[in-house]
Structure 1
């Protein structure tokens, strides 16, 4: 059996060191990821000559420490993800990358060290993608924490997984207690059971719900809130999580009550209604600004002809050469119509059923008139008026083309890819 041939063509990147940490062999994959020729590294000290790290003293080099640990323990040792600079072959500087590695001592029958085998992976793209996703999550958390509403999230079974900072600031209840069910103590005793009943009905039926409740602030005063819960579903229709929001309607509710009980205060109430309207309008404008600046693409289509009423920056970036506002989808984006999405929009508008897609390929036209494959995760959600009549469709989602292509590359290299 030709072990050298097997070693050279193994898909994992491997380098073989002698006890003095001099390179005695490296396979093709290792030479490829480290941008080296075998003749240029054979016989050289692994860390001092072949791959020196300019930013870390040799005594503190994590690769050296991992190799020494493997030799000392006489078994394979894994090195967590590290950033390690690799010199460019043309001598123009260094490329700092992220690496995973393991070191395995190879012993003879007497237990003497013959070689050390390093297996390594360049995981720079994965780590950068992970960081990008973490940045997106942080931005969404910032948005949720910045909203005036009390926002919370629950898993599919109804267990609390998140409360925004407004919950703690308003109620004075520590976050740990909120997560453990302490939010119930903030609800008015006369509203708690009815709220729990509505929530249980939502969990059992998988339906959105809303209820008016009173929530106590940290000073012991109660204010009226409109509590809404919406389910987020997976591709197969199962519920992935619940998103809840509580909007302060105390002033508006009091205004309505005063209108019903005293016509004599109509003039004063008119001024208060105007103030309340401005408050609601300001909140609406704040929400619209958040939508326009969000990392998710958003669009609002009005009417059964699906005419663009609002698009945010991320949505417009998908079609930088097309004027969308005021046009129908069919008029502005004929390539979308040709792919059958007008029929999907018609079905959402007629049935009121949300349409969700994950990492689906959509052909989008470039400014040069060419069609490019893009992978999108998006949702078409019906919009209703106060009479529960459908008046339009909300489009929201992410362009996940880069993530999709990276996963494909990793899978082609035989690397298992976890769902993010």
Structure 2
């Protein structure tokens, strides 16, 4: 008899020990879970709440214990209207014997703030009777914020892309165009769905298509900047010159993520530049025409300014007898990158040129109106602002311009030919040796 009782007590002790061990494991799991966990009884009262749930809601278990969980964290909609418990799919999971999975909803924290969540609710039955509901909840605040940020970013990108006056485009890393802004359809008259991929080549002049395609393939292969000019067919059948630029977006590993680029109509600018660089006489004539046009329409003046700023040559405008700089283009600025020109006289901007004859030449052109053409003229300049004088050579023209019939200033237009002159001098020295 004693042996039977002892064996029974031993088994009971082992069973209790196993149950206690299992309970510890369960508590460890729930206490360290990153998702919030709740348990409700068959009346919807909260009977369990893990630390993650307390942190998420701001309530302690003591504050919600044996109270309707719905009335604490789910009692109103975000618009302020009441949320009846009878309408809540989480509370209906137990009486309807229905598992709720990935249900997105909005809960309420202790401070009254709403936050988005994803829920799963599973009913628990004992002997076929519903006794409890286990609820797992994930806070989606950061995820929703990230989604909103992504949507906002995409909307901002599209707004900016559609607002650009240029024809804007993006491609996949392999060069396949996957986005065009509406300007493409408006300009070419071709629906956007026909342009995706390599449909843009359909708009390029037959004589320029191969050059454009080769340049694009080379840029994609080498992951380098793409810049090429070609003629694009407008919706009325007219071909006009365009400048296309594309840049690769690289990740930290140097791999191309996408390409971004624009195609800009610069037909007038190209034609004007060609006229400007043809001859000095054409430069003067073009300038006079643009000055006259600028007096009639501000838009023409701005067009000329843009032309000079984009011209692949040294261009500057000096106004008045003191030769005050009114405009210098980027190529001219590169002669002395750190130097200020606008609002300064030529003598103030280039003190090192004193005694080299350039100031007298400017005075003569301003006084007589006769242009001066210089060929391979030497100018000793402090190019880098470090006091080191360097020999530079230029082909240039000083051309006076008039306003209301009087000389108003001088346009400087030229090219640096330093490398060419030094090469000639080097060859000359070698031949004498």
Task: Compute the TM-score of the two structures, normalised by the length of structure 1.
Answer: 0.58
Partners of 1:171 and 1:68 in 2: CA distance: 59
Q: Does structure 1 residue 101 correspond to structure 2 residue 126?
A: no
Residues 358-369 of structure 1: pairs in structure 2 closer than 5 A: none
Give the match for residue 196 of structure 1.
213
Partners of 1:116 and 1:176 in 2: CA distance: 52
Partners of 2:275 and 2:54 in 1: CA distance: 79
Give the match for residue 37 of structure 2.
14
Query: Which ranges in structure 2 are unaligned for 5 or more consecutive residues?
Result: 1-21, 291-299, 311-332, 341-414, 417-433
Give the match for residue 27 of structure 1.
50
Give the match for residue 183 of structure 1.
200
Partners of 1:83 and 1:281 in 2: CA distance: 60
How much does 1:36 deviate?
Answer: 0.8
Partners of 1:226 and 1:268 in 2: CA distance: 26
Partners of 1:46 and 1:127 in 2: CA distance: 24
For the aligned residues, what is the CA RMSD? 3.6
How much does 1:252 deviate?
Answer: 1.3
The structure 2 residue matched to 1:165, chosen from 182, 190, 196, is: 182
How much does 1:266 deviate?
Answer: 5.0
Larger radius of gyration between Structure 1 and Structure 2: 2
Query: Which ranges in structure 1 are unaligned for 5 or more consecutive residues?
Result: 89-93, 284-301, 310-385, 388-420
How much does 1:13 deviate?
Answer: 0.8
Deviations 1:175-231 (A, max 9, x none): 333335433322222222221121112222222222111112233322211112222
Task: Compute the TM-score of the two structures, normalised by the length of structure 2.
Answer: 0.56
Partners of 1:59 and 1:178 in 2: CA distance: 54
Give the match for residue 86 of structure 1.
109
Give the match for residue 125 of structure 1.
142
Partners of 2:86 and 2:35 in 1: CA distance: 23
Q: Is the 8 A contact 1:151 1:163 kept in 2?
A: yes
Give the match for residue 101 of structure 2.
77
Partners of 2:29 and 2:270 in 1: CA distance: 76
How much does 1:35 deviate?
Answer: 1.0
Cα 1:83–1:188 shift into 2, 3 Å: farther
Residues 335-346 of structure 1: pairs in structure 2 closer than 5 A: none
Cα 1:56–1:215 shift into 2, 3 Å: farther
Partners of 1:71 and 1:239 in 2: CA distance: 55
Deviations 1:289-348 (A, max 9, x none): xxxxxxxxxxxxx99xx98x9xxxxxxxxxxxxxxxxxxxxxxxxxxxxxxxxxxxxxxx
Give the match for residue 271 of structure 2.
254
